[in-house]
Amino acid sequence: MEPMCTPLQYAELGETVTLECSFEEDSYGIYWYDTTDVTENPFLYLDEGVKTGEGYLSGEFDIHANGSLIIKNVSLDHDRVFTVVQLQNRETFTITNNVKVVVTVQPPVSYPSIQWCHERRYCYNHPQHNFTVTCSVNATRPPLTLAWKLQTVHGKQNISFDAKVVEYQGVFTTLIAVDQSGLDKNTFAPLVCDTEVNQPFSSIKDAVILLEINQPDVILSEAVLLRHSENESVTLPCSDDDLVFFVWKKQISASEYKVLAHGSSGYAMIESSKYTLRNRTSLDIARSSIEYNGIYVCFFGDGVYEGMALYNVSVSESIGTDRNNDKNWTGMILSLGIVVMVVVIAIVVVLIKRDNPSGKQVDGTTINASLVTQGTPAIYELNYSRKPIEYSDLKTRKCDIGTCSETRDNKVVLFVGETGAGKTTVINALVNYLLGVTWHDDFRYQLPLVDKEKNHSQRDSQTKWISVYTFHEHRYEINFDITIIDTPGLGDTNGETRDEEIMTQIRGFFTNEIDHLNMIAFVKKASDLRKTDRETYITSLVKTLFGKDVAKSLCLFATYASVSGNEAFIDIAKHFNFGSRDPFFFNNEHLYLEKSTKNYKALEPQWSMGWNSFISFTKVLSACPNVGLELTREVGTDREQLKKVLSNFPELLKSKVIEYTALQVEENVLLLRSVENEQSVYDYEETYEETVKTNLSDGKMAIVCMQCERTCCNPCYASFVSTCSSIRPLSAFRGCGKCESRCSSLHHFKRNFIYERKVRTRTITNEAFEEKLKSENHNNIAHALKNVKESQENKKAEIFAQVETIRDCIDQIDRLSLASPNTNVKQFLQDMITSETSKAESGWEVRVKFLKELASCEK
């Protein structure tokens, strides 16, 4: 007889799953056992159409009319063999089926993680000697089988590797490793981390890494010479063969090559935005220039044989069409006489200046800029010397202006300030100063605020992105390059949430894109700096970014200042303690003002005031040492840690206080029973917490921990649990900071509901209390009292340890940060007291009393 139930069935952890069976729906009875021993009592059964059994009454299981078992919330306990028995009538004829249930946990991503690929499915790496490369899959159940294989044109070839499977909290991490000794015969090794595709992981795909193991020899004399003129497109073929991998490189010194592009097993990646790939393997230069001159080499192979294509690209400077026309025109008019020639040359010079503004001369230096506004002054927008680099995840763009020199120092200035303080305008004024513009000049420069190629709006560019401008050309007396960092404005109408986003953005920039600062310029309106809560908030917010080692690098830029009478501002500035030096004063309303404007000449003192401030500022800057950002990064990490601890602390502390006060009530009941008759009847009220599920609306999702039934991120917009910033770092071995037990990632899932803790009250009857004492093996009241007091002391120790954790975080920040933390333990406890009082949930008076005792111990 064919089985009525599928013998092997999979059940995803935390889901509602039906174990499929197909019994006749008119069966007399269907009985489910969580063992193969059917002499035990069934935990659930359908008897003459009536559902019952311990499993059904507890809500853990349900049963379909056809006998299928419904598991409502799959846990690891359900990983077992179930037995189902069908009784067809009152007689003894039965059908028995065994169902093996395998509880599954899907990995957080759909492909294995290769050591150097940083969560990408494909990458390239040139490791050091004696390397070992690993591939792993975390958080699966059952364990996933992995294998390192070498990709060739003939398919995947087996290689030797080591494998290890680790179990932790019921789920598995599979790790495989191959070292250099198994790959030394290759120059390049196109490796595949191969997944054995089987149920229940049919959606898991392979991951790929291309390893350059040995540096190939390049014979430069064999390079094919390719000559091109400027602005021509250039395509460098790699190979016409069926390739498994390719790597494009450019020579940057006698023995060094820079990787431009690479690919393996159908994947391809560009490492330099100056190039593109054509037909997957050919290197393409859209518009050639002399910067593209040099040796290019493409290493390629099919996993068995390897080769290279070598080119020597030579781009010659071409004379522009306009200049040729000018020369021809000049040659024609020579025959008309020297006088006429001089006149024509003058006309040509004027035309060149008008039609080709990139030829603007300042202090004898040609400034690369484009005319954007005709007038007096004419406004030129500076051109990039190379294409800007953009990092969309950090909302950061990096631009170079002028020709880079490796011999000059680079001074880095960070500008921060409130929205509307004139930060971008004062930066533009500084740019004009650096480029030698004077009051009498009939032109001005402005920064290229908007990336035209990406088509960002100007508002987006100015208010959301960090813009980094490195100036390699400027006034002759400044002997260093200057990097200007323009940050989004603080304190706008979007409130503190937007300010916190900007703080996170800047901290991410410090971590990934810069290694030192020389000065930090805080931009404030001279008319706005007053001793108000708002000014204190903005100033303190800026200081929270930095460690104490930048204190001597701070300065204040006062905008919209008057030419005289700024003494009051200087006095108030000392109150905010933003640097020891006097502020630099500016008023830039004249910067782009038409010279025909009434009373324009009267604004010259404002220009002079600003230019004198810039002279002083650049002198100070030249003497400012590089300040590393290690301490600033540490402060940022500590503040993030404090933020996470504080966000989780009220809920955790409240739970422990409820447990502690419940023990106090139990102690009082025991004391009464010890004084009076032990058999006296005492019903009493007990306060406790209950975890309830609340569904989310509008398609929102949250990350919840199924182990401790806690909501760890709500709402959550991360694609995977492992990429959620609220609970990172989170892995199978480093638990979640939101969970009291630091539960592993294996128990965290994205769901359309959240867990909430509700305070409830229940009546403990004398009978229930007696049963409790018996279950805890208390011989008498004295023994029970002793255990309750020990439990109280342990719970109080846990509470003190939580408070100590916050105190340590705050002390660490106070020790390292330029700005003290804006909270302390006592204030935090006072906030909890206020919250408890306003909510007035069951037992709140007892909790408030305990919290007040805690707060009284704090300074």
**Who wins on pLDDT, 761 or 91?**
761
Residue 671 and residue 801: Cα distance in Å, rounded? 28
CA angle 724, 725, 729 (to 5 degrees): 90
Contacts 24+ apart (CB under 8 A), 621-625: 621/411, 621/413, 621/482, 621/518, 621/519, 622/411, 622/478, 622/479, 622/480, 624/411, 624/518, 624/519, 624/553, 625/518
Q: How many residues does the chain have?
A: 859
Closest CA relative to residue 156, chosen from 303, 266, 307, 305: 303
Q: Percentage of the chain with pLDDT > 70?
A: 86
Q: Can you say whether residue 406 is alpha, beta or left, with left for phi > 0 and alpha for psi between -120 and 50 degrees? A: alpha
On the 0-12 / 13-18 / 19+ scale of CB atoms within 10 A, 850 is middle
| pLDDT given at position 349 | 34
pLDDT level of residue 259 (50, 70, 90 thresholds):
very high
| pLDDT given at position 685 | 86
Closest CA relative to residue 139, chosen from 726, 708, 730: 730
Q: Is the pLDDT of residue 97 over 70?
A: yes
Phi, psi torsion values for 56, nearest 5 degrees: -75, -45
Q: In 560-688, which residue ranges form alpha helices assigned H by DSSP?
A: 567-576, 604-623, 630-675
* CA 368 from centroid of its chain's CA atoms: 36
> Is the CB of residue 148 less than 8 Å from the CB of residue 174?
no
Mean pLDDT across the stretch 767-786?
82
pLDDT level of residue 165 (50, 70, 90 thresholds):
very high
| pLDDT given at position 341 | 40
CB atoms closer than 10 angstroms to residue 796: 16
> Is the CB of residue 36 less than 8 Å from the CB of residue 63?
no
| pLDDT given at position 355 | 38
Residue 84 pairs with which residues in a beta bridge? 32, 97
Q: Tell me which DSSP letter residue 568 carries.
A: H
Residue 821 and residue 149: Cα distance in Å, rounded? 53
CB atoms closer than 10 angstroms to residue 137: 25
Q: Is the pLDDT of residue 15 over 80?
A: yes
Q: What residues have CB less than 8 Å from 236, skipping those under 6 apart? A: 226, 248, 282, 283, 284, 285, 296, 298, 309, 311, 313
Q: Is the pLDDT of residue 328 over 60?
A: no
pLDDT level of residue 203 (50, 70, 90 thresholds):
confident
Mean pLDDT across the stretch 247-267?
90
Q: Is the pLDDT of residue 12 over 80?
A: yes
| pLDDT given at position 749 | 83
Q: Where are the beta strands (DSSP E) in 675-785?
A: 684-695, 702-705, 710-713, 748-751, 753-764
Residue 662 and residue 531: Cα distance in Å, rounded? 48
> Is the CB of residue 400 less than 8 Å from the CB of residue 470?
yes
| pLDDT given at position 2 | 66
pLDDT level of residue 62 (50, 70, 90 thresholds):
very high
Mean pLDDT across the stretch 391-402?
78
pTM above 0.85, yes or no: no
The helix (H) or strand (E) run that includes residue 826 is: helix 825-839
Is there a cis peptide before residue 42, judged by omega within 30 degrees of 0?
Answer: no
Mean pLDDT across the stretch 340-361?
38
> Is the CB of residue 12 less than 8 Å from the CB of residue 140?
no
Closest CA relative to residue 273, chosen from 453, 470, 510, 508: 453
| Tokens read off for 532 | 């108000």
| pLDDT given at position 228 | 86
**In the block, which residue shows the tokens 């507890």?**
58
* CA 351 from centroid of its chain's CA atoms: 51
| pLDDT given at position 597 | 87
**In the block, which residue shows the tokens 């024609």?**
332
Mean pLDDT across the stretch 737-766?
82
Phi, psi torsion values for 243, nearest 5 degrees: -100, 145
> Is the CB of residue 122 less than 8 Å from the CB of residue 264?
yes
Q: What residues have CB less than 8 Å from 390, skipping those under 6 apart? A: 396, 397, 398, 451, 454
Best-predicted range by mean pLDDT (449-458, 527-536, 724-733): 527-536
What is the residue-wise DSSP string for 356-374? -GGGEEETTEEE-EEEEE-
* Range in 20-29, 301-310, 324-333, 480-489 with the lowest mean pLDDT: 324-333
| pLDDT given at position 72 | 92
Residue 339 and residue 383: Cα distance in Å, rounded? 37
| pLDDT given at position 202 | 79
| Tokens read off for 133 | 């490369």
* Sheet of strand 257-264, all strands in order from the earlier edge strand to the far edge: 224-229, 306-316, 294-301, 245-251, 257-264, 267-270
Q: What residues have CB less than 8 Å from 796, skipping those under 6 apart? A: 660
Q: Where are the beta strands (DSSP E) in 551-604?
A: 554-559, 584-585
Residue 706 and residue 695: Cα distance in Å, rounded? 15
Maximum separation of any 2 CA atoms in the chain, in Å: 132
Mean pLDDT across the stretch 136-147?
90
Q: Percentage of the chain with pLDDT > 90?
A: 24
pLDDT level of residue 463 (50, 70, 90 thresholds):
low
Mean pLDDT across the stretch 90-116?
85
Q: In 168-294, which residue ranges form alpha helices assigned H by DSSP?
A: none
Mean pLDDT across the stretch 85-93?
70
| pLDDT given at position 620 | 92
pLDDT tens, 505-557? 888 788 777 888 999 999 988 877 666 677 778 888 888 888 888 888 889 99
Closest CA relative to residue 851, chosen from 802, 791, 786: 802
Q: Mean pLDDT in the chain? A: 81
* Sheet of strand 584-585, all strands in order from the earlier edge strand to the far edge: 389-391, 396-401, 466-471, 481-486, 410-417, 519-525, 554-559, 584-585
* Range in 439-448, 655-664, 722-731 with the lowest mean pLDDT: 722-731
Q: Is the pLDDT of residue 324 over 60?
A: no
| Tokens read off for 104 | 């599954």
